[in-house]
Structure 1
Amino acid sequence: MLESCQNAQERWGGVHLLIDRWLQEREDLIGAYDKLGDKPQALSENRKPLLEFCGVLVDYVSAGHFEIYEQLTGEAKAFGDTRGLELAETIYPRIDVITEKLLAFNDLCDEGKCVAEKFKELGGLLHERFELEDCLIEVLHTAHKEEDTAQA
């Protein structure tokens, strides 16, 4: 019994730490967004805060796609969670659309064409994305964590 608990911790403990780190990056992204949102005129006056925001944005989006989603899906597969995998298949396409819009904003900023209206649209997109990601974490990770604890 102790061995199975240790195996689960070794197997999924890293996912928990990865998610914690990613959620901290989310807080950093929100902070950078709020900082710019207080002064939308700063988008054209001083590009440094905007470029810093874009860097945090791209890092966050990349971590989601290349680390977190893969780990969550792998965990659901390992637990035989078909309901969770079906939910992920439903949610991932919307996250992909949001990602394309976020990266398009980043590209505009790289080209020096960022405008306040586009920046304001990001708030809604980020909010929707965070809700979708929270749903994935809840269904694909937290449920398994509880299941794992119950088996120990």
Structure 2
Amino acid sequence: MLNQLESLTQRVGGSNELVDQWLQARKQLLVAYCTLVGIKPNKEKRTPLNEKALENFCQNLVDYLSDGHFHIYGKIIKQVEGSASPKMALTTKFYPKLQANTETIMAFHDRYTEVEIDQDVCLEFHQALSDIGEALASRFALEDQLIQLAAETWQQAQPGAANSGTLENPA
């Protein structure tokens, strides 16, 4: 997921300040996830569960989801479709899927933020970590589609942007 994020950042980074902030928040979330599951970059060894890492991941998770739903999605959609769009087609295409994904992710958050991870819960928790990784991957794929569509729209709106190879922030 970090490699996909890096690739997306290289493609659309700098095209829009909001998207840049969004991608940075995603990176922080992924780093927190990797820390939680005990994955260290360029290492094969896993580390034991760190309660502080779980707390940090859950906080990053809530922040990321909240930013998306209450700040970023609406602004991106308005920039792409314009505020006068009667149907907001992107909203009907992306938002229900993102909402369902959010519910899945928040079920993880609600289940594991208040419980001690002991031997009785350990196997269930490791499965939940795997499931949350898959849910995040699905979410990022949806968000990437939205970002790519926005970047293409901004590129079309900027005369000469296609020739320069960079995307400009819409006026």
Q: TM-score, normalised by structure 1?
A: 0.76
User: How well do the aligned residues superpose, as a CA RMSD in angstroms?
Assistant: 2.6
Higher helix share: 1
Q: Which residue of 2 aligns with 1:137?
A: 147
Please give the alpha-carbon distance, in whole angstroms, between the structure 1 residues aligned to 2:115 and 2:47: 15
Q: 5 Å matches for 1:45-64? A: 46-64=50-68
CA contact 2:80–2:154 (8 Å) conserved in 1: no
Quickly say closer, same or farther: Cα 1:113–1:99, change in 2 above 3 A.
farther
Which has the higher relative contact order, 1 or 2, with Cα contacts under 8 A spaced 6 or more apart? 1
Unaligned stretches of 5+ residues in structure 2: 1-14, 39-45, 118-124, 162-171
Shift, 1:150, TM fit: 1.8
Q: Which residue of 1 aligns with 2:108?
A: 105
Q: 4+ runs of 1 displaced by more than 3 Å?
A: 79-83
Shift, 1:40, TM fit: 7.5
Of 67, 79, 82, 1:78 maps to: 82
Q: 5 Å matches for 1:115-126? A: 115-126=125-136
SS at match of 2:70: helix
Q: Which residue of 2 aligns with 1:32?
A: 32
Please give the alpha-carbon distance, in whole angstroms, between the structure 2 residues aligned to 1:113 and 1:102: 19
Q: Give the letter for the 1:21 counterpart.
A: Q
Please give the alpha-carbon distance, in whole angstroms, between the structure 1 residues aligned to 2:157 and 2:137: 30
Shift, 1:80, TM fit: 6.9
CA contact 1:76–1:82 (8 Å) conserved in 2: no
Quickly say closer, same or farther: Cα 1:19–1:47, change in 2 above 3 A.
same
Task: State percent identity of aligned pairs.
Answer: 33
Quickly say closer, same or farther: Cα 1:80–1:151, change in 2 above 3 A.
farther
Q: Give the letter for the 1:133 counterpart.
A: E
Q: TM-score, normalised by structure 2?
A: 0.68
